[in-house]
């Protein structure tokens, strides 16, 4: 059951795939909440990279970074939800493609 037995590349590849899935989600979904969830997925993919490197180097710095990324993600989630709520009250929609009065 030694984590070290799984090569670093596997973690990096997995996190890259997760990251891309998240990015694709941002580009394809219309619902602001789901877009934000996709962003969270991207952040967690990065967390995986950080933890993998941290384990690889035996340096706790990367893991500490992960904590901060999580805290920041939580703060962003709170703010994001608030913004989406305010948007819904204002325009009765959470679909981002319907929010485009400012353009050109």
9 binds another protein (CB under 8 A): no
What is the rounded CA–CA span in Å between residue 4 and residue 56?
8
Q: At closest approach, how far in Å is the CB of 50 from another protein?
A: 5
93 binds another protein (CB under 8 A): no
C-beta of 3 vs 81, nearer to another protein: 81
Residues at the contact surface with another protein, assessed by CB under 8 A: 1, 12, 19, 22-23, 26-27, 32, 35-36, 39, 42-43, 45-46, 49-50, 53, 56-57, 59-65, 67-87, 90-91, 96-97, 99-104
């Amino acid at each position: 059951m030694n984590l070290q037995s799984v090569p670093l590349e596997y973690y990096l590849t997995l996190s890259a795939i997760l990251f891309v899935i998240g990015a694709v989600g941002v580009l394809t979904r219309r619902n602001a909440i789901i877009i934000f969830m996709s962003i969270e997925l991207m952040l967690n993919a990065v967390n995986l990279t950080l933890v993998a490197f941290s384990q690889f180097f035996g340096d706790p710095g990367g893991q500490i970074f992960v904590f901060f990324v999580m805290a920041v993600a939580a703060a962003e989630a709170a703010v994001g939800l608030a913004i989406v709520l305010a948007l819904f009250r204002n325009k009765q929609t959470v679909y981002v493609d319907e929010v485009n009065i400012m353009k050109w």
